[in-house]
Amino acid sequence: MDSIFSGRVSALRRLMQEHGWDIVVLTGSDPHGSEYPATRWQQVAWLSGFTGEAGDLVITQDHAGLWTDTRYFIQAHRQLEGSGIVLHKMRVPEQVPIPQWIASLGLDEPVIAVDGLCQSVSAIDTLQEAVPSAIIVSVPDLLSALWTDRPAIPTSPVITLGEDLVGESRDAKLRRLRKWLVMQGADAIFLSALDEIAWLLNVRGADVAYNPVVISYLLVTLDDAFWFVRKDAFQDPDPDTADSFQELQADGVTIRDYEEANVTLASLRLDGVDRICLDPSVLNLFLREAIDDGDLLPEVVEMPSPVALWKAVKNAVEIDGMREAHLEDGLVMEQFLFWLSHKAGCVNEWEAACELGRLRSQVSGYRGDSFQTISAYGPSAALPHYVTPQEGSALLEARGLYLVDSGGQYLFGTTDITRTVPLGPCTALEREDYTLVLKGHIQLAMALFPKGTAGCQIDALAREPLWRAKRNFGHGTGHGVGFYLNVHEGPQDIRQNFNAQPLLPGMIISDEPGLYREGMHGVRHENLVLVRPVGDNEFGSFLGFETLTLCHFSTSCLDVSLLTSDERDWLNAYNNRVYEALSARLPAPVAAWLRQETLPV
């Protein structure tokens, strides 16, 4: 049966015929290379119905394909039904990425249309290298001709964070960046990534759901900083925004309209910029073309922005704030799990998610969730990024496993935690899967490694117990987490894909192995950990992890025989630490329940 989405694909094909485009490539990102775009730029969802965070579309006259990774295969199969769009699987041995797939068509000088606002320079370079004869046409807001009710670019109040919260003033950060520019022999750097801009200017907003960022660009020169943002302090702005703009201007930041970025980039040499640094992984094609089309072109140096790494290494104030956030979040989680222990058979997935959100909202400093809560019972949890439906969500029965993956944004930090909870009797397979995943989590949490080690070099620690049982999971084991910023950040991660970025003291990263059985159940155990020094000797400097998350792991469905003595010791010590840290601030019935939940195994 055809769907509304097949009709939209047909309309796009008619548009392609009108303009002479052979192929259209659409990305799930936005003009800033964001993982989570605002609704205006959720083009893939509008055209295909697929709502996963990672997905790109290719449309020809006789084929429509969605490229996504292992996290979303089950979801994509369901959401693409009736659309005529074919799933192309990534992060599997037989994967064929989009550039290579287009090259395999063997077309002579194909005309490929892209939304130049939402395609990065590096992605277009990769496409052009794979299909050298292709004529790539940049069409900003390509879908607007069809998407007649397309949302506007969002705006929200802008706030600033003081040095007492973030540990470093914006003036100090800008001076650090200008020193870096001098070392590169450059006059300026242009930043597109929203979390980098928010971190550098010590600003926060709510333009993107769950991500406290402001849609904007930033140009920093040796003498000036120009912030291109959709807020006008001189046209009846929100009071918080007006105050924030005044503070920024007092610190030497010039406020310009968001739409002026391309004009400014086209006249850089006129503004005294002879050499500019750009990050091609996030700079969009439209703005790069603005530079190339300008007069008196500056020398362009393509390189990663240094801000991403600076942001990833938390200072002492940020680390203290993250510890506070996890203490407060742990109190919330334990009260939720206590509530849940009395509700099996009485509430559904959506009602459980709402209760968890209600508890978080009572914390002073809470500013919203850090991502959409995944509240998944039984077969629902087999989808790693399950979207809990408001209507028709599954009843939490008094048996089997329930998975909840959630997090909070607080003025003093960001949290991300997953707990898989036995709601009653579990099968032998559920117990075994639960325990093997927990073994992997513990092995990574206990890791010690020499300075200079990258996350990909220790990823196997979390997978080894699963591999021994011939099991695996398709997503990464760990991602960086921002400070009252995006819940996913780089450049560090822990996954099988090669990433040479070493883990550095001060980085915060998740430890979240999992296992998923379609139609049956899913298991994931996630804490956030802080990279910290653990000692020096004649063999070098060594690092390890401090677990920040404070919420017990249930032991009621463990197959204890599968744990080593070291793993049992770690689990018992962790659960006891959770009790000691939280019990005094929990209601008496919750504290008594938690004492029983954390007894040693």
Contacts of 223 (CB under 8 A, 6+ apart): none
Rounded Cα–Cα distance for residues 354 and 367 (Å): 16
Tokens of 384: 């790693």
β-pairing, 64-68 vs 86-89, is: parallel
Of the listed ranges 142-156, 170-184, 547-561, the one predicted with least confidence:
142-156
- Look up residue 395 and give its amino acid: L
Question: Collapsing DSSP states into helix, strand and coil, what is residue 411?
Answer: coil
Residues composing the chain: 601
For 69-126, the pLDDT digits (tens) are: 877 888 888 888 888 899 999 888 888 999 999 999 999 999 999 999 999 999 999 9
How many beta carbons lie within 10 A of that of residue 330, not counting itself?
22
Work out the pLDDT band at 58, boundaries 50, 70, 90: very high
- Would you state the pLDDT for residue 239? 83
- Would you state the pLDDT for residue 451? 98
- Look up residue 477 and give its amino acid: T
Reply yes or no on whether the pLDDT at 235 is more than 70.
Answer: no
Bridge partners (DSSP) listed for residue 190: 219, 278
The dihedrals phi and psi of 577, each to the nearest 5 degrees, come to: -60, -40
> What are the distances in angstroms from CA 579 to CA 97, 186, 582?
48, 53, 5
**CA 415 from chain center: how many Å?**
12
Task: Show the beta-strand stretches assigned E in 430-539.
Answer: 448-450, 478-480, 489-494, 508-511, 514-517, 521-524, 527-537
Work out the pLDDT band at 2, boundaries 50, 70, 90: low
Rounded Cα–Cα distance for residues 469 and 112 (Å): 46
Q: Is 400 left (phi over 0), alpha (psi -120 to 50) or beta?
A: left
> Per the confidence metrics, is the pTM higher than 0.85?
yes
Reply yes or no on whether the pLDDT at 233 is more than 80.
Answer: no
For 438-464, the pLDDT digits (tens) are: 999 999 999 999 999 999 999 999 999
For 514-546, the pLDDT digits (tens) are: 999 999 999 999 999 999 999 999 999 999 999
Asked if residue 491 has a cis previous peptide bond (ω within 30° of 0), the answer is: yes
How many beta carbons lie within 10 A of that of residue 600, not counting itself?
11
For 255-302, the pLDDT digits (tens) are: 999 999 999 998 887 778 899 999 999 999 999 999 888 667 889 999
Rounded Cα–Cα distance for residues 3 and 207 (Å): 31
Of the listed ranges 75-84, 421-430, 545-554, 563-572, the one predicted with least confidence:
75-84
Rounded Cα–Cα distance for residues 195 and 481 (Å): 11
Reply yes or no on whether the pLDDT at 234 is more than 70.
Answer: no
Question: Which domains, from first to last, does the chain contain?
Answer: 4-145 (3.40.350.10), 159-310 (3.40.350.10), 313-597 (3.90.230.10)
For 5-53, the pLDDT digits (tens) are: 989 999 999 999 999 999 999 998 999 999 889 999 999 999 999 988 8
The packing angle between helices 316-340 and 565-582, to 10°, is 90
Tokens of 337: 């799990």
- Would you state the pLDDT for residue 71? 79
Q: What angle do CA 293, 183, 169 make, to 5 degrees?
A: 95
Give the mean model confidence (pLDDT) for residues 573-587: 98
Reply yes or no on whether the pLDDT at 236 is more than 60.
Answer: no
Sign for the CA dihedral angle at 586, 592, 593, 596 comes to positive
DSSP notation for 196-254: HHHHHHTEE--SBTTB----EEEEEESS-EEEEES--TTSS--HHHHHHHHHHHHTTEE
The rounded mean pLDDT for the chain is: 94
> What are the distances in angstroms from CA 346 to CA 352, 374, 394, 404, 426?
10, 19, 11, 17, 18
Contacts of 455 (CB under 8 A, 6+ apart): 477, 478, 492, 493, 494, 495, 499, 501, 503, 509
> What are the distances in angstroms from CA 488 to CA 82, 312, 433, 478, 493?
32, 11, 26, 10, 10
- Identify whether the C-beta of residue 286 lies closer than 8 Å to the C-beta of residue 116: yes
Question: Collapsing DSSP states into helix, strand and coil, what is residue 112?
Answer: strand
Give the mean model confidence (pLDDT) for residues 316-327: 98
- Would you state the pLDDT for residue 295? 65
β-pairing, 508-511 vs 521-524, is: unpaired
The separation between the first and the last C-alpha atoms of the chain, rounded to the nearest angstrom, is 54
For 335-394, the pLDDT digits (tens) are: 999 999 999 899 999 999 999 999 999 999 999 999 999 999 999 999 988 989 999 999
For 154-210, the pLDDT digits (tens) are: 989 999 999 999 999 999 999 999 999 999 999 999 999 999 999 999 999 999 999
Q: In the chain, helix, strand, coil percent, each to 5?
A: 40, 25, 40
Work out the pLDDT band at 408, boundaries 50, 70, 90: very high
Rounded Cα–Cα distance for residues 139 and 135 (Å): 13
